Amino acid sequence: MLGTIVMALGLLAADPAQPSSAASVVPMAIVNNHVIADVALDGTGPFRFIVDSGGGNLLDPAVAAAIGARVDGRIRLLGVGAATENGAMTRVHRVAVGAATFVDVRFVVAPIRATFGAGEGPQIDGIIGRSIIGSGVTVFDYAARTLTFNAGDAAVSSGGATVLPVETIDGEPDVPCTVDDVLGSCAIDTGSRLNVTLLAPFAKQFPAIVPASLSAVGVDGFGIGGAAYGRLGRLARLTFGSLALTGIVADFSVQQSGAFASSRTAANVGGGALRRFTLVFDLAHGRLGLRPNADFTAPDEVDRSGLFLIARDDAVAVLDVRPRTPAQRAGIRAGDRIESAQGEPQLPAALPRLRALLAGAARTHVALGISRAGEAPRTIDLQLGDYL
């Protein structure tokens, strides 16, 4: 349900990428609440990249090999999970997103396809992050499905946007926010697909923000470092200036290590909440513009199965079954493979559609074809239901 915040011993706070083009508007896809754009590297591509305001620039080793990039050194990467991953460094001479071009861009080479990509389904080749987003004024228009690079200063406050000051903490853009009635700072992370993740130290310090009713602990994300665990519940109110989101589903992290164990930030705000706005990043001047769109008051798309699914061995696999959910009652187990849904074969590329199906109305029946090691394939009738 969420993306990856990646820190590599301070190295991912890379030098700002040098733009070599004027303003450029490019199409973006939204998959699992992630912003995805086609990117060309040194004239090769296009490759599918997530555009992640909460991370650095990352490149899968297969892509680095395909463009003939020179890879040097060895570093350790910290992500949303408790484990670390090995990585290395490289530079790409020219990065092009549509007509927007950036020169001499530093990347960390890391197993994006096997980690971040496994949690998404469709192949992900890399991530472009803060050094490119912050090279000029960058606009994420979720409603129009467009990205604008080098948009110009006037874009920040256009349309009556709420303008917030930005402080960079551990390479992430943080803005003032209020969680219920508690003032804190929120990381603005287009690379997370959740609405918001409340970090464990903040929730422990201010227990009144934690709802009385929470789900059982389960996997809420998967990326570099492996799985991230938390409880789900409805947050009363999340406020940015005069803009308030009410009753949204939040992840209350239980991570004791990794990026979500930080005590420096109250919450990590992801694409599930950010898709309700047009975002205008002006990181060079420490500003973020927020302009609500037509989805500002739209209801959440909430999982009603209790499953956390990933792509594994060219199949859709069950990584986790949250206790006391419809999936557990139906007898689905971690390690099962989802071969079909409603009679349609399921492959990793279809994982976003399967997740949308599992967020259907309560009492909807979904026929899942299941295979399990040592047993004959079976069809399970999963009746969706609210478990928050």
Residue 22 has pLDDT above 80, yes or no: no
pLDDT at position 119 is 84
* 89 within some domain: yes
Q: What predicted TM-score, i.e. pTM, was given to this entire model?
A: 0.91
* 50 within some domain: yes
Residue 4 has pLDDT above 60, yes or no: no
> Does one domain contain both 159 and 276?
yes
Q: Which of 133-137, 219-223, 231-235 has the lowest mean pLDDT?
A: 219-223
Q: Quote the tokens at residue 210.
A: 């934690």
Residue 272 has pLDDT above 80, yes or no: yes
pLDDT at position 9 is 36
> Does one domain contain both 143 and 219?
no
How many domains does the chain divide into? 3
The CATH number of whichever domain residue 84 belongs to comes to 2.40.70.10
Looking at every residue in the chain, the average pLDDT score rounds to: 89
Q: Which of 100, 117, 151 is the last residue of a domain?
A: 151
* 78 within some domain: yes
pLDDT tens profile 280-301: 999 999 999 999 999 999 988 8
Question: In percent, how much of the chain has pLDDT > 70?
Answer: 91
Distance CA 220, CA 119 (A): 10
DSSP single-letter state for residue 334: T
Q: Which of 117, 151, 185 is the last residue of a domain?
A: 151
Residue 256 has pLDDT above 90, yes or no: no
Residue 3 has pLDDT above 50, yes or no: no
3-class secondary-structure state, position 184: strand
Burial of residue 195 (number of CB atoms within 10 Å: 0-12, 13-18, 19+): buried
> Does one domain contain both 135 and 183?
no
Question: In percent, how much of the chain has pLDDT > 90?
Answer: 73
Q: Which of 266, 292, 318 is the last residue of a domain?
A: 292
How confident is the model over 362-376, as a mean pLDDT? 95
Where do the H-state alpha helices sit in 179-283? 200-205, 271-274
> Does one domain contain both 279 and 346?
no
> Does one domain contain both 80 and 117?
yes
pLDDT at position 258 is 66
> Does one domain contain both 109 and 207?
no
How confident is the model over 253-261, as a mean pLDDT? 78
> Does one domain contain both 213 and 275?
yes
- In single-letter form, the type of residue at position 246 comes to T
- Domain range for 330 is 307-383
Cβ atoms of residues 294 and 144 within 8 Å: no
* 221 within some domain: yes
- Sorting pLDDT into bands at 50, 70 and 90, what band is 222? confident
Q: Quote the tokens at residue 47.
A: 């490759």
* Burial profile 357-385: b = 16 or more Cβ within 10 angstroms, e = fewer: bbeeeeeeebebbbeeeeeeeeeeebebb
* 4 within some domain: no
> Does one domain contain both 185 and 284?
yes
